[in-house]
Amino acid sequence: MAKLRRSARIAAAKLDKCSLPGKAVRKAKASRALKKPLAGRKTATHRQSPIDIVPGAVCHDPDLCKVDTLNISYKPGDCCDVIVNAGGFRVNVERGCSTTLTGNHLGDATYELAQFHAHWGTNGQKGSEHLLNGKSMSGEVHFVFWNTNYGSFCEALNKEDGLAVVGVFLKEGQHNDDYHSLIETIRKAAGGDKPFAMPKDFDLIKLLPSPDDRDFVTYAGSLTTPPFSECVIWTVFTTPVEISYGQLNVLRNIVAENHRECQDLCGRQIRSSITFA
């Protein structure tokens, strides 16, 4: 299983816009040491992701975390195609994408959508990358945005607020019609080696929790796949979205699991829009 997960991670690295396969392999190997002490090493690994969101580390900060300011503005057609490889799937955006993310906790910056993908596990008891007080969900979708104050996605990877990733927990349960077109497109794309067109009427907003269930936590972290850049302001919705066993199995048929283990908090504070218990 360990072998499988490593290869899945390396494959996932190829999904990253800026990583080269050779580098990804070396960095994936290096990543195995991430949880060990780093005495004498200059590599910054104090803000790795994912983490266990434990109540003791969460600070309720309603002045910073304002649900009504968190806005994803999706332009129909921006999510143009999906590519499936050994590590999972990735939905790509059109050149000149104008889907944006803003929010009080993200400062004045406007973040632009780069891609989205998901993580999952072999059964419904695991698969999310972040944990909620030690508990896994069945999966987690990551919407990856880059800070347009920087010149490009690749430049943003080197900045501490370069990326903003929005995480949506998946919970195995009822069939979800709002995920149907995505899952069916992934099913069709699997087995092919070329990008497969997304339906023209796909609406990314439907993949999020409903508007009155968008309480979130935020913290400074990293990519969870190579090159593990410490450039991500995370926004993780605390209310999961349900999808069915059958829908999750379409993902498990790509690869059994593709989630990274939790990393040390290293004293970081997590801020939230709600009292967290």
Query: In sequence order, what DSSP letters do the residues of 65-113 get, joined into one string?
Result: --GGG-EEEPPTT-EEEEEEETTEEEEEE-TT---EEE-GGGTT--EEE
Binding site for Zn ion (CB under 5 A): 142
Q: In this complex, which beta carbon is closest to Zn ion, that of residue 114 or of residue 270?
A: 114
Residue 115: CB minimum distance to Zn ion, A: 10
H or E element that contains 116: strand 111-120
Dihedral sign computed on CA atoms, order 270, 207, 138, 157: negative
Q: In this complex, which beta carbon is closest to Zn ion, that of residue 223 or of residue 250?
A: 223
Q: In this complex, which beta carbon is closest to Zn ion, that of residue 27 or of residue 142?
A: 142
Q: In this complex, which beta carbon is closest to Zn ion, that of residue 40 or of residue 218?
A: 218
Residue 258: CB minimum distance to Zn ion, A: 9
Q: In this complex, which beta carbon is closest to Zn ion, that of residue 142 or of residue 271?
A: 142
Residue 277: CB minimum distance to Zn ion, A: 27
If you count DSSP H runs as helices and E runs as strands, how many of each does the chain have, helices first? 5, 15
The β-bridge relationship of strands 111-120 and 196-197 is unpaired
Residue 114: CB minimum distance to Zn ion, A: 12
Q: In this complex, which beta carbon is closest to Zn ion, that of residue 14 or of residue 142?
A: 142
Residue 201: CB minimum distance to Zn ion, A: 25
Give the residue nearest to Zn ion (CB): 142
C-alpha 272/C-alpha 219 separation (Å) is 9
C-alpha 254/C-alpha 197 separation (Å) is 18
DSSP annotation of 7: H
Nearest Cα to Cα of residue 127 among 45, 17, 221, 50: 50
Residue 245: CB minimum distance to Zn ion, A: 22
